[in-house]
């Protein structure tokens, strides 16, 4: 049985599989299965039934998201499928692996998703710095055209699809799906107000689905090996495997494909090799820079959407960042705040003005010049920039490590207050 | 803006090279309208010219028929569009959280000492521009930086010395 559908072809010591080798390892089998007579609504239903949830951060059920795309003769004929490959969340390094390691898997997933919503054009919105991924994706795309898996009348289904790689130029906010759409249209990449949601009015006002790279890479397995197989992969409640990563001071940092529902301890000790000698774990961000800190006492929780939420955090990207006992939590959170302040798009006040203020206060704390008043101001900003107070989720993301850090590491902040 | 001023700024546009025009036209086939190609055009020009001058901005704006102010609002938004001249090699140095935990600050000081430049500066010989960049998506191999299109991982002082030397020797 295939246990690692996302990475089964990946070996970073060699170039990715060319299309012939990819196909001989069940590659593009899902498209052949669909071409045998599945309708777009069959594909949608199967995706819903699989239980797949988005791997881009929010964990939204993928099939449900697709079902909001209006279908029928009285709806816009033009629809778009967009892959979010802007990976810029601090501490996140999973989509790079998938695209550099097995570009055809992503293309296969894009064909499935585009067919389900009947989009004849798909864009891969790729981070500009990912030069190797760009080159490998473009090569894979041209191989797929040559084999008739892209272009017109794919495998005699009557379905047409073009895939276009768009490379960005470095701005975290472009990963927010509505800002991404503005960027693709050539506009300044401020987020858009929702509603209308992109599923109804997205790219150039047309119905659009935006999915994360890893989400899309789950699709080929589901349509090749079936739902029973897919649902047998997990060790927890949510379905499928997930790319989990560890960065920070472990013996063996890295990224692995593992079943959802493994314990955090298993990831840290068996795969990460435990902390480096002489260091203890003090805390960790479970899924990138926009998630709340968790503590060593949480290590026996499962890596599952619900379990992590119970500890007040989010699974999000599944790439954990570790804080050890010799690293200053105030400095670490200050670094994150500087990132968010730098990447704020500047559209709304709490974020544009709040984050630089927070950064200025962290600078004082890091010099041992904090004041009680400053500490109060930091606490206030957790509220001011929290969910519902800002135009998009960037600033609330920043409040996750800030709020949890103030709570869990209060004595470290206290020590940096000048007397 | 007076008509004179408009005319005089438009006349400052440089001529796009045939190669630039060819590449921009290729991108235009991939999008339903010209405006969407703005960023691609900026990147193409930057690839050939090293940076995006006012004269290049005006040229792209004329070519794509989009207001230069709109184009500027895109150009200034992105970290990797350079509106000032940069050195032959741009160092994109990751200073995000995992690299910070793994000691990127001391690597930054080392580069600063070796090249005499800090973030935002270009070395006197014009070889290097030093810029910070958010997480490069290689956090398990921190600290990390790019020089030009190449990624360098697990940085140490010795590694940085070798990297600098190899780019200095490149013609
Ligand atoms: C500031 C910000 C940055 C984001 N960056 C990314 C990103 O780089 N990649 C990504 O897939 N999703 C990112 N997201 C989440 C997307 O908005 C969107 O939820 C996701 O692409 C949906 O895909 P999924 O349903 O497959 O998870 C970001 C969200 C915010 C608010
Ligand atoms: S929260 Fe920040 S990034 Fe989001 S719209 Fe407001 S200013 Fe822009
Ligand atoms: S934090 Fe430096 S590569 Fe991710």
CB A83 within 8 A of CB A91: no
**Chain B residues touching A293 at Cβ < 8 A:** none
User: Ligand 1 pocket, A55 CB below 6 A?
Assistant: yes
Per the CB < 8 A criterion, the answer to whether B113 and B69 are in contact is: no
Tell me the pLDDT of chain A (419 aa) as tens digits. 899 999 999 999 999 999 999 999 999 999 999 999 999 999 999 999 999 999 998 899 999 999 999 998 888 899 999 999 999 999 999 999 999 999 999 999 999 999 999 999 999 999 999 999 999 999 999 999 999 999 999 999 999 999 999 999 999 999 999 999 999 999 999 999 999 999 999 999 999 999 999 999 999 999 999 999 999 999 999 999 999 999 999 999 999 999 999 999 999 999 999 999 999 999 999 999 999 999 999 999 999 999 999 999 999 999 999 999 999 999 999 999 999 999 999 999 999 999 999 999 999 999 999 999 999 999 999 999 999 999 999 999 999 999 999 999 999 999 999 97
Question: Coil, strand, or helix at residue A337?
Answer: helix
How far off is chain A from B18, nearest CA to CA, in Å?
A: 22
Interface contact flag, A321 B101, Cβ < 8 Å: yes
pTM for the whole thing? Answer: 0.97
Ligand 1 pocket check for A211: Cβ under 6 Å:
yes
Centre of ligand 1 from the C-alpha of residue A175, in Å = 5
| Class of the CATH domain delimited by B89-169 | alpha beta
Domain range list for chain B: 3-77, 89-169
Of B32, B100, B139, the CB nearest to A93: B139
User: Could you tell me the domains of chain A?
Assistant: 19-232 (3.40.50.11540), 241-324 (3.10.20.600), 329-418 (1.20.1440.230)
- C-alpha B9/C-alpha B66 separation (Å) is 15
- Which residue is closest to B147 within chain A, CA to CA? A129
Minimum-distance ligand 1 atom for the alpha carbon of A343: 1
For residue B153, pLDDT beyond 90: yes
Contacts of A366 (CB under 8 A, 6+ apart): A328, A330, A331, A334, A416
Burial B29-46 (b: 16+ CB within 10 A, else e): eebeebbbbbbbbbbbbb
Q: Which residues pair with A126 in a beta bridge?
A: A85, A167
Transcribe A177-243 into DSSP letters: HHHHHHHHTTS--PPPPSSSPTTTS-GGGS-EEEEEHHHHHHHHHHHHH-HHHHHHS-SSSS-SEEE
User: For residue A395, which atom of ligand 2 is closest to its CA?
Assistant: 1
Q: Fill in the DSSP letter of residue A250.
A: B
Q: Which ligand is nearest to the CA of A255?
A: 3
Q: Which tokens hold the place of A106? A: 């992503």
Give the distance (Å) from ligand 1 centre to CA of residue B56: 33
Looking at the DSSP bridge assignments, the partners of residue B151 are: B146
- Listed residue (A150, A143, A89, A127) closest to A343, CA to CA: A89
Whether B101 sits inside 8 A of A247 (CB atoms) is yes
Chain B contacts of A167, Cβ < 8 Å? Answer: 43
The model's pLDDT over B38-97, given as tens digits with 9 standing for 90+, comes to 999 999 999 999 999 999 999 999 999 999 999 999 999 999 999 999 999 999 999 999
Assess whether pLDDT exceeds 80 at residue B9: no
Residue-by-residue DSSP string for A12-36: TTSPPPPHHHHHHTTTTHHHHHHHT
Residue of chain A whose alpha carbon sits nearest to that of B81: A169
Question: Is there a cis peptide before residue A196, judged by omega within 30 degrees of 0?
Answer: yes
In whole angstroms, give the CA distance from residue A237 to residue A308: 12
Q: Is the peptide bond before B99 cis (omega within 30 degrees of 0)?
A: no
CA B132–ligand 2 middle distance (angstroms): 21
Candidates A151, A179, A185, A147; CA nearest to A166 is A185
Strand duo A208-212 + A162-167: pairing:
unpaired
Please state whether beta strands B145-147 and B128-133 pair in parallel, antiparallel, or not at all (unpaired). unpaired
B134/A contact by beta carbon, under 8 A? yes
**Distance (Å) from CA B14 to ligand 3 centroid:** 38
Q: How many CA atoms within 13 Å lie on the side-chain side of A52? A: 34
Report the gap between the CA of B26 and the closest CA in chain A (Å).
12
pLDDT 10s digits, A336-376? 999 999 999 999 999 999 999 999 999 999 999 999 999 99
Which atom in ligand 2 lies closest to the alpha carbon of residue A346? 7
């Amino acid at each position: 049985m295939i246990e690692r559908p996302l990475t089964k072809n990946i070996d970073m010591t060699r170039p990715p599989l060319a299309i012939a080798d990819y196909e001989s390892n069940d590659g593009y089998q899902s498209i052949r299965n669909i071409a045998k007579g599945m309708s777009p609504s069959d594909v949608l239903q199967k995706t819903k039934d699989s239980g797949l949830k988005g791997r881009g951060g929010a964990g939204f059920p993928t099939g449900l998201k697709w079902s909001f795309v209006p279908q029928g003769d009285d709806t816009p004929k033009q629809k778009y499928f967009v892959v979010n490959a802007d990976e810029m969340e601090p501490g996140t390094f999973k989509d790079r692996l998938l695209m550099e390691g097995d570009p055809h898997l992503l293309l296969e997933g894009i064909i499935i998703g585009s067919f389900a919503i009947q989009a004849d054009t798909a864009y891969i919105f790729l981070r500009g710095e990912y030069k190797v991924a760009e080159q490998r994706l473009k090569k894979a795309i041209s191989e797929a055209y040559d084999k008739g898996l892209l272009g017109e009348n794919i495998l005699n289904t009557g379905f047409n699809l073009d895939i276009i790689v768009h490379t960005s130029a470095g701005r975290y906010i472009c990963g927010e799906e509505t800002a991404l759409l503005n960027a693709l249209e050539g506009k300044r990449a401020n987020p858009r107000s929702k509603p209308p949601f992109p599923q109804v009015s997205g790219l150039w006002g047309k119905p659009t689905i935006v999915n994360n790279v890893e989400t899309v890479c789950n699709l080929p397995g589901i349509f090749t090996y079936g739902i029973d197989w897919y649902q047998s992969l997990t060790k927890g409640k949510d379905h499928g495997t997930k790319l989990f990563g560890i960065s920070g001071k472990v013996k063996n940092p890295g990224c692995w494909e593992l079943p959802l529902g493994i314990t955090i301890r298993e990831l840290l000790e068996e795969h990460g090799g435990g902390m480096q000698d002489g260091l203890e774990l003090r805390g960790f961000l479970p899924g990138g820079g926009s998630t709340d800190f968790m503590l060593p006492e949480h290590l026996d929780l499962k890596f599952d959407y619900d379990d992590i939420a119970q500890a007040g955090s989010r699974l999000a990207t599944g790439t954990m960042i570790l804080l050890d006992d010799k690293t200053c939590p105030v400095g670490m959170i200050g670094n994150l705040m500087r990132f968010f302040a730098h990447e704020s798009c500047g559209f709304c006040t709490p974020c544009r003005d709040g984050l630089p203020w927070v950064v200025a206060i962290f600078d004082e704390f890091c010099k041992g010049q904090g004041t009680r008043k400053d500490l109060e101001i930091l606490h206030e900003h957790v509220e001011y920039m929290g969910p519902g107070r800002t135009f998009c989720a960037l600033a609330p993301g920043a409040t996750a490590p800030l709020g949890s850090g103030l709570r869990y590491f209060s004595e470290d902040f206290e020590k940096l207050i000048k007397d | 803006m007076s008509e004179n001023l408009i005319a005089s700024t438009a006349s400052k546009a440089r001529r796009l090279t045939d190669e630039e025009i060819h590449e921009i036209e290729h991108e235009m086939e991939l999008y339903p309208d010209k405006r969407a190609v703005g960023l691609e055009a900026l990147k193409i020009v930057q690839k050939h010219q090293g940076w995006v001058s006012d004269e290049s901005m005006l040229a792209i704006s004329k070519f794509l028929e989009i207001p230069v102010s709109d184009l500027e609002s895109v150009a200034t938004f992105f970290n990797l569009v350079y509106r000032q001249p940069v050195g032959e090699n741009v160092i994109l140095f990751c200073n995000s959280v995992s690299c910070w935990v793994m000691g990127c600050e001391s690597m930054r000081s080392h580069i600063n000492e070796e090249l005499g430049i800090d973030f935002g500066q270009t070395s006197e010989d014009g070889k290097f521009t030093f810029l910070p960049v958010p997480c490069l998506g290689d956090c398990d191999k921190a600290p990390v930086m790019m020089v030009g299109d190449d990624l360098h991982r697990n940085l140490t002082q010795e590694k940085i010395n070798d990297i600098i030397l190899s780019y200095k020797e490149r013609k």
